[in-house]
Amino acid sequence: MSELPDRQAINAIIEGHYADPFSLLGMHQTSNGLEVRALLPDASEVWVIETSTGRKCAQLKCLDSRGFFHGVIPRRKNPFRYQLAVTWHGEQNLIDDAYRFGPLLQELDSWLLAEGTHLRPYETLGAHADVIDGISGTRFLVWAPNARRVSVVGDFNYWDGRRHPMRFRREIGVWELFVPAARNGQLYKYEIIDQHGHLRLKSDPFAFESQMRPDSASVICGLPEKVAMREDRKAANAFDAPISIYEVHLGSWRRHTDNNFWLSYKELEEQLIPYVKEMGFTHIELMPINEHPFDGSWGYQPVGMYAPTRRFGTRDEFRHFVAAAHAAGLNVILDWVPGHFPSDDFGLAQFDGTALYEHEDPREGYHQDWNTLIYNYGRREVSNYLAGNALYWLERFGIDALRVDAVASMIYRDYSRPQGEWVPNHFGGRENLEAINFIRYTNRMLGRNAPGTVTIAEESTDFHGVSRPPEAGGLGFWFKWNLGWMHDTLDYMKLDPVYRSYHHHKMTFGMLYNYTENFVLPLSHDEVVHGKGSILDRMPGDTWQKFANLRAYYGWMWAFPGKKLLFMGDEFAQGREWNHDSSLDWHLLEGEDNWHNGVQRLVRDLNHTYRHYAPMHQCDFEGSGFDWLVVDDYQNSVFIFARRDREGNEIIVASNFTPVPRENYRFGINQPGGWREVINTDSAHYHGSNSGNGGVVWSDPLPSHNREHSLTLTLPPLATIWLVREAE
């Protein structure tokens, strides 16, 4: 280009329509010497300063009053490091020119991003502090292949899109720019002129911190350090470990009583973590903490997949919360939502004027249940964005497990859609093959690169092998929520006991498929919203019977094969439906000791007892770990089974789901000897009637239920008891 740019080029770059700013701006070799061009709106005077000597080399002339400057440095042919001394409103500033720096994206990163196999795309894309050629600043990279122009705007350039248009790497569809002096803590966005010429202002998909709604700017901040996973944390996730999960919505577990405001991450660290530990849970599951614009989504409509919400504090304060949980011996599970995203204009929707992250066809790309958009998993860059995000939370925050939301909506193209409103796959089937491949890839990748961490699927269908290896045709999750068990048992428990004998199978059916998956038994937030009431409210009868039913049900749940999950508030039998805008009803535990205190003590004792005795958890997914002793007594609504560990030690569990005490109830057992109650949900300690079997009950050499020895017990009304064999 000549030393005098044509008026068309000057107009284009000032108006924000020049797609190749580096070809025009910066230092260029010309026949007349080195030429420097700069776009500096509102500047009155500009000098080129040689960095090494501090000497003024040339004054740039203003070719356009809107801020385009140009000048030739005579007798200099080789480019050199320079700065610009710029006078704005009577004050001179010495700045580094963003357009004197070379390309940023490395060849290997470019290759892996294009291939969709970059393990850590967040280390390349997004905003990263850097020092280039001795100059401190921030490098910005964003994927927007169909944009006409992208500028980074923020606190460092008056949010003026003319000042920092970015270089387009056409081979990968990424825009890049190193902005000297842009620093941590400053806000930024990307100003995009999209494929159709429309101006869009977008948050960074890879922002590590963001503003809280209603604001939506991204925040420059460093990539957090990696967190090594200790061996005890790995062991706590094992298939044979006791896993009891406390599911929490951080915004409503507890609030400040004076103004109903949220607790901070620091306050939650001081209050929530000791409580969960004291209650005997092994894991805390956090409903999504990704930044999200709508409180009523509970975090399940995230726009900032890489940014913890600022509702409760900073990114680093959240990391400290996770570290404090680990110090207390608790593992942390994060709810992760790769299934859909909201359509807010500042987010991923129509990012560069095209359906970049979503599908163009609403039959594939629009989620009608939640008014959200569905990721296009078949696009390599999109799957890489999500898979990298999974590893990011595990590596950079020390998250121990991801519970993956709404898996069924991902793997079925006809999920919640009538015939004719969905697009079959290329085989004509209903499976979303691209989503299935994405899930399998992500689970395999995490298994290799974050050993000891696990993923848990919330999957509501009978898809085969959700928690089986991809090599065996499965999806590769470690665990799956057993929603069938949850629905069946709650349907049974809500019945008046007089009708339960007709629905006996609802409590036993789960064992018919128990070993097809590695199950978690969930009583989650979904069971206490949208008019369902509380778990306590599902129980029939008067107040005494409601609490007795609930205690008996918890005793059954903690004894049944599978890991456990309980939503906050259920541990003390909150009576009203959960409200995300207010605190749990902690006042129910105040004053005179009552039924709520009793349920809370029971859950604590169930957790500690469950963790103490290996038969209750070691063989959850092995057929040898469970044995029905009484399975067909539907007339009395009695169920009795044995749990067993690998050494053959047993615990007997007996449930009576009627309000009638069963005296002298005889049943066959595998191991003769003395048996002692370690849990009785009817104990007076839990505000029950205190019926039961005090001390040790000895077996008799009398055949019963096809066994040579038998035991005679008192089965308390609406109660579950656990018995441990006494050492001989």
Catalytic positions, please?
A: 405, 458
379-385: Cβ within 8 A, 24+ apart: 380/114, 380/115, 380/116, 381/113, 381/116, 381/143, 381/173, 382/356, 382/357, 383/116, 383/434, 383/437, 383/438, 383/441, 384/113, 384/116, 384/117, 384/118, 384/121, 385/121, 385/205, 385/206, 385/305, 385/357
Place of tokens 């019945």: 495
Q: What are the distances in angstroms from CA 667 to CA 293, 506, 639, 714?
A: 57, 22, 11, 11
Q: What are the distances in angstroms from CA 499 to CA 484, 507, 556?
A: 21, 14, 19
722 vs 643: CA distance, rounded Å: 10
Residue 718 CA to chain centroid, in angstroms? 38
DSSP state of 212: P
Q: At 555, give phi and psi (nearest 5°).
A: -60, -40
If we measure between CA atoms, which residue out of 571, 538, 532, 598 comes closest to residue 253?
A: 571
If we measure between CA atoms, which residue out of 556, 472, 464, 459 comes closest to residue 510?
A: 556
**Residue 685: other Cβ atoms inside 10 A:** 14
Residue 238 CA to chain centroid, in angstroms? 20
Q: What are the distances in angstroms from CA 517 to CA 211, 237, 459, 478, 566?
A: 40, 16, 11, 9, 20
Is the backbone of residue 348 left (phi > 0), alpha (psi -120 to 50) or beta? alpha
* Beta strands, E only, 19-121: 26-30, 33-39, 43-50, 56-64, 68-73, 82-88, 91-95
Q: What are the distances in angstroms from CA 161 to CA 98, 155, 219, 310?
A: 14, 12, 17, 26
Place of tokens 């992500």: 442
Q: What are the distances in angstroms from CA 487 to CA 74, 483, 703?
A: 82, 6, 36
**Residue 224: other Cβ atoms inside 10 A:** 17
